[in-house]
Amino acid sequence: MRNPVGGHVPVAGGLAKVGLPYAREMGAEAVQVFVANPRGWATPVGNPAEDERFRAECAAASVPAYVHAPYLINFGSHTEATVERSVESLRHSLRRAREIGALGVVVHTGSATGGRPRERALAQVRTHLRPLLDELTHDDDPFLLLESTAGQGASLCSRTWDFGPYFEALDSHPRLGVCLDTCHIHAAGHDLSGPEGMRQTLDLLVDTVGADRLKLIHANDSKEAAGAHKDRHANIGAGHIGEEPFRELFSHPATAGVPLIIETPGGKDGHAADVARLKGLRDRD
């Protein structure tokens, strides 16, 4: 399949028991899950039976799975405790990803807090995040996927070219990839709504990181205009991006084989409608 289309699924109550039926009802061909409270630092152990069932059923249905790491992680923080917790939290997400058979762990690129220069924050990224990549030595270890932000505050990575210095700080490690969030990149200033907007933005991303680094797409429309630097997801076709750019996305060479995950509002019905809408755009031509 050119692009599996799926979504983020809730797993409170059981990774397999709750997550898989939700994914099925959504029509998901790819799934993303949290393996910890996204707004906390806890690093819970998994339930081996649920892990195994999740892994086996995803494999049997050829549904690729991804983990989204907690939001608090920031390797650019000026607070030492935050950086230390970020290491433990991300290491946990990477280990849990392997245990559940996930292909990648999405982590936000963070920001240079405390008014410190971006170079200093990127030096911390090298010191503290780089070693975690070297721990990915098993064949079934996940990719680490960097997700840029809408450009709020002192964000380290919001425009396509910002991935350049970030990749450099991590020596373009072979296990490193990009998760492109269409809402974030639009709000950051790459106007996806106009003709050619999607194509040009994907071209810019390839220019910066190369052709094979885009591993996952967060397909979200944006409640905010291009350049607003605000992160507010909308249902596909109901925001400032609109439906048409997503059709362009499906025809760009850089997205061949790359799964799409929706993170949109509207609960299960809204999610099912967005998945169906994207599949329609994918399959129309």
Nearer to Zn ion (CB atom), residue 77 or residue 220 = 220
Residues comprising the chain, all counted: 285
CA atoms within 13 A on the CB side of 99: 16
Name which of 184 and 277 has its Cβ closer to Zn ion: 184
Give the range of 97-105, 117-125, 174-182, 199-207 binding Zn ion by CB under 5 A.
174-182
Which one among 29, 181, 191, 274 touches Zn ion, defined by CB under 5 A? 181
Tokens of 237: 């076709």
Report the nearest approach of Zn ion to the CB of residue 171 (Å).
25
Q: Which is nearer to Zn ion, 55 or 186 (CB)?
A: 186
Measured from the CB atom, the residue of 4 and 16 that comes closer to Zn ion is 4
CA nearest to 190, candidates 180, 176, 179, 200: 200
Taking the CB of residue 137, how many other CB atoms lie within 10 A of it?
A: 7
Among 55, 218, 271, 282, binds Zn ion (CB under 5 A): 218
Tokens of 278: 């994207």
Give the shortest CB-172-to-Zn ion separation in angstroms: 22
| Least distance to Zn ion, CB of residue 159, Å | 16
Contacts of 166 (CB under 8 A, 6+ apart): 109, 122, 125, 146, 156, 157
Range in contact with Zn ion (rule: CB under 5 A) among 132-140, 151-159, 211-219, 274-282: 211-219
Q: Is there a contact between 143 and 191 (Cβ–Cβ < 8 Å)?
A: no
**HSE toward the beta carbon, residue 242, CA cutoff 13 A:** 12
CA 99 to CA 109: how far, in whole Å?
Answer: 24
Q: Minimum distance from CB of 183 to Zn ion (Å)?
A: 7
| CB-based contact 100:52 (threshold 8 Å) | no
186 binds Zn ion (CB under 5 A): no
CB of 265 vs Zn ion, minimal distance in Å: 13
* Contact track, Zn ion, 98-127, x by CB under 5 A: ------------------------------
Q: Give residues in contact with Zn ion (CB under 5 A).
A: 181, 218
